[in-house]
Chains A and B, each alone.
Chain A
Amino acid sequence: MSYERLCETAEQECRDLEKYDGIIYTCGSTGCVSSGCQDVIQAITDCIASHDIAGRIKLIVTGCMGLCSLGPLVRIELKGREPVLFKQIDSLTIRLIILEYVLQVFRQKDAFVFPYFLEQFVVPQDLPFFTEQKKIVLANTGKVDPARIQSYIAREGFMALVKVLSSMTPEALISEMAKSGLRGRSGAGFSTAAKWDIARKQQAAEKYIICNGDEGDPGAYIDRSLMESDPFSVIEGIIIAGFAVGAAKGWVFIRSEYALAASRIEQAIEQARDWKLLGNNILGTDFSFDCEVRLGAGTFVCGEETALIATMEGKRGTPSHRPPYPAVKGLWTMPTVINNVKTLANIPPIIRNGADWFRAIGTEGNSGTKVFSITGSALNSGLIEVPMGISLGRIVYHMAGVAETGTMVKAVQIGGPSGGILPPPFFDVKVEYESLRDLGIFIGSGGFIIIDQTVSLLDLLLYYLDFAVDESCGRCAACRIGSTQVLGVLKKIRKGRGTLDDLALLERLCMAMKNASLCGLGQAAANPVFSTLKYFPEEIEGYITTREVDTHER
């Protein structure tokens, strides 16, 4: 494999697509699969065969197009016409669309007028949901065919790797990353370059890269979507990280629930090996690197660095004390860099376009973008990528389309079980690590749940604490006993047997968990309680003062 060969492949791929008069892109991610895209794909294939247009139109099954709630989504790009995105397609409507849109355009050319009866299936492209996005990480999703490496290569794939291997030293690469200001995208926001630099400076027989795809937050599915839709960019990011720290081996650790993501990554690794982009002497240099997939087993705490390492070593996934940090002493005591899927997917575009380009996006100290998965009471729910520094309100009211539905928003929950709950008066806050942290909110995984007035926040707290109790590994007392006690107090209040003293007790228990827990799970498990006590005290006090009796079984 060489630079020339990559360029040839890219040109060949583009020429191949040029031959067609149109391309039909269909989403084939988990979300759309569950809304029935397999039937749609079959119908398109049948239609292409029965109308004998195989030479004129091409079907590409892509990854996520973002607007998952309106799936299955199909985008049709015909030569000389604007792309059209169709929503909620089934096998009948797609036949109608091919008949009345694709074939009519082929037949009538410029005289074609878009039939009024198809309007109801069209997603307008000027929705704020699309126009306010800035796509870096998700740039390829919904456009490339995740099953073919050529498709990724045609979109500048592996050009960052070429640039790194042909013209950069590990030191130069790390300083470029430092200049870009990229911070870990899974919550803590630690500088990626700094982490790499620590690992690079270690003297060790071996070093490892682990891509953390153990997206445990119940309510976020960004990593899943990325691995399903654009697996090669994650692989390219891992290889570059390997070069930076001097590692020869990488692992992609994926949740067992994400079967499709795991198989897409497996497939991508195999293709990259066939194309000699993984293995010995990559691109003719003396740099060798390979990676493998490892599956988690349904345990939330395993997303924590040290617990992840324990799991990989074949032990039970309990966290251990830091320091030493994994970058110093990690997997099998070797220096190990653990980066999130989203962080790694950011790397190829940063290298290709340069640190200054990346820095110009977002705000000072918070460069780049952040991907959120919007769920809950939203009109448009799905994945969005927004520049750092955008206000929460713009996301909630404009992009998620809450303003249109007239839903009374009670709060937004960001960051899952480790995150916090914020009421509308604070919606002008900017999406930045620090500004949100000052309000007691951790961006975390990027889960973004819009909560309307019908939801009882105490019930939501019960849900999160129940989750924490269930997922606490039991190693440290603060988390094991603390979470159980907090849940007990909340249940008591929910049953109408609470007293006002319980509020102070809750604070004390949560403080103890925050201060004394061994890992992030325990330290952050109390965050939802803190933010509810701070912003919505009436939600909890209500159950105490009015003595509302619980009629729900819990």
Chain B
Amino acid sequence: MAETKGRPGNPFAMENSAISEILGKWKNKQSPLLMTLHEIQKNRGYISRESTLEISEALDIPLARIYEVLTFNNYFKLSPPGDVVISVCTGTACHLKGSGQLLKKLEKVLGIHIGETTSDGRFHLQYVRCIGCCSLAPALVINGKVYSKVDPLQIKQILAEWQGEARESVDEL
């Protein structure tokens, strides 16, 4: 994924002090890199070029190593996602119960492909491998809220929930 410029007014914009705080917390611990990346992404929604430079300096890890880890793992985002991140579970159980149709329906309704963000910056669509809700397949997660046994017909109704004012994201996922 190519590095893109952060949009102005990005709701995840984080004070630099928050980054230093995270770096300070992990600096002297063993195995700090992944956790630092996790916390920054949780705070900011993605890992910017500036953040990686700061991490590199504070933790004394070469930039190349940081990008190696960032791009190897599916979880990290290098560009700002939409305000509302929709993750469709594509685990085996969900696959068998029709997660493919859910994805197609979402792509159609939102007018974007998997991995893209709507032009207004509102919705980001992605898939995840398994969220562990296999008995309630198919499932999808929107900003941490899990929806289970989802029917493609419910998609519009679910999206409507997230259409208006930015809802506070649940502190999970």
Contacts and interface: CB of A to CB of B under 8 A. Distances in A.
Whether A associates with B in a native complex is yes
Interface in B117-173: 128-137, 139, 144, 146-148, 172-173
Interface in B77-95: 90-95
A219 B73 contact: no
B144 A259 contact: yes
B105 interface: no
Contact of B38 (A221, A257, A295): A295
Interface size class of A (residues with CB under 8 A): 35 or more
Interface string A275-291: 00000000000000000
Interface stretch (B2-10, B14-22, B29-37, B108-116): B29-37
Contact of A259 (B69, B129, B137, B173): B173
A220 interface: yes
B135 A257 contact: no
A297 B96 contact: no
- Central interface residue in A33, A218, A298, A455, by most chain B CB within 10 Å: A218
Nearest to B173: A259
Contact of B132 (A35, A225, A296, A455): A225
Interface residues of A, dominant DSSP: mixed
A314 B93 contact: no
Interface residues of B, number: 41
A447 to B, nearest CB: 7
A417 B95 CA distance: 13
B92 A298 contact: no
A335 to B, nearest CB: 16
Contacts of A463: 92, 95
Given A298-B73, A298-B74, A317-B73, A221 B130 contact: yes
B133 A31 contact: yes
A30 B130 contact: no
A220 B131 CA distance: 9
Nearest to B150: A34
A297 B74 contact: yes
Contacts of A218: 90-95, 129-130
Interface stretch (A77-85, A133-141, A193-201, A373-381): A373-381
Interface in A49-84: 68-69, 71
Contacts of A296: 34, 73, 75
B68 A316 contact: yes
B132 A258 contact: yes
A305 B65 CA distance: 21
**Complex A-B, nearest 4 residue pairs according to Cβ-Cβ distance, in ascending order:** A218-B91, A221-B132, A297-B73, A34-B146
